[in-house]
Amino acid sequence: MDTTGILDEALQRLHGSGPERLGRLTNHAPMAVEALSAHGQAGSVHRWVDLYADKLEEFPARVERITAANWQAALGDPRRSADWIGHFEREIADRPWREVLAQWWPRLLPGMYGGSTHPLIRVGHAVRTLLAGENTAPRLAELAHGLGYWAARHHPVAELTPLPGARSAAAALDAVPPLGDRNGSFPDRLGRVTALPLWAAASTDPDQARLHLTELVRAATHRYATHGHGDETMLVHAATAPNAVLRTLPALPRALWAPSLHAAWTASAAVTAMYAPDAPVAYTPPGTFTAEEVFERARAHGDEHVIKLTDTALDVGDATALAAALRSIELSEPLR
């Protein structure tokens, strides 16, 4: 993890901006700069933010202070993002951040699908930083921003009809039926997901849940190499959302691990249903590259989703995962 102070500088710089732009598009900058810093690229952080700066909007206005008495009415109201961020800033200032996370995780988990799963992913990046290094004020503030964004965009899924599943995560993802109508925004498509295959549904042991999550992240990352052309951006989240959950597990009580697995599976499977292509295509990487070389290619490309998928691919760490990262570089438009 970055010890130069650059990550903290970048987070402070970014906390003057809101979590979204144009009323619906996520600000990816805090997640991308954390990933860059985590992989030894802190020196490129400020230049990357400069390139991304035209996608940032001012921090939104506050509406009303959120309290223990009124928080439920504000949950899932995107107009209240500033109020929610302020609430978590106060909570984390008053109590250990792990205690705050443990209290709010089960409240927020059912709504992890809001904001195209980005709030959850932002929390996962923030928690990784806190677990890996010093709990500085900007890093604690980043967790508050991530949790606040999640609460503001909290959006549960409707009750789903269980379909026959499969024993492996890869086979279960293959069994996900694609939507017949794949037009519209993420919320529109999510509302049309009514049935998903069962996978690891009986898993209640925390350690088994962690192993299943690891398997899911690997399978979803591998699948991008052959299915990413269905939507080069949105299918990234089939891997990065469950990986955000996996990264957060060490900071959570073990009793929350199995429910976290089940929510992560639903998210990954739903994204697969919403954006999967009609058929896979074979993919052969343009050579053999080390993990460091692949991440350098992602950094040079600059697209925020490419950086985040490559970050997850390096967590998986095998050749197929690196191929998926290279595929995302080929499919995506670079940041200019």
Question: pLDDT tens for residues 197-216?
Answer: 999 999 999 999 999 999 99
Total domain count, the chain: 2
**How high does pLDDT run on average in the chain?**
96
Domain shared by 93 and 178, yes or no: no
Find the domain containing 336 and state its range: 159-336
Domain shared by 137 and 174, yes or no: no
Question: pLDDT tens for residues 144-197?
Answer: 999 999 999 999 998 999 999 899 999 999 999 999 888 999 999 999 999 999
**Is residue 11 situated within a structural domain?**
yes
**Is residue 251 situated within a structural domain?**
yes
Domain shared by 194 and 275, yes or no: yes
Residue type, 72: Q
**Is residue 285 situated within a structural domain?**
yes
CA distance 3 to 7: 8
Question: pLDDT tens for residues 60-114?
Answer: 999 999 999 999 999 999 999 999 999 999 999 999 999 999 999 999 999 999 9
| Dihedral over Cα of 213, 259, 175, 178: its sign | negative
User: Is there a contact between 237 and 264 (Cβ–Cβ < 8 Å)?
Assistant: no
How far are the Cα atoms of 240, 254, 263, 286 from residue 201, in angstroms, in the given order? 21, 17, 10, 38
> What percentage of residues in the chain have a pLDDT greater than 70?
99
With a CB cutoff of 8 Å and minimum separation 6, the contacts of 39 are 292, 295, 311, 314
Among 103, 121, 152, the domain-final residue is: 152
Domain shared by 187 and 66, yes or no: no
Domain shared by 177 and 261, yes or no: yes
**Is residue 1 situated within a structural domain?**
no
Domain shared by 48 and 191, yes or no: no
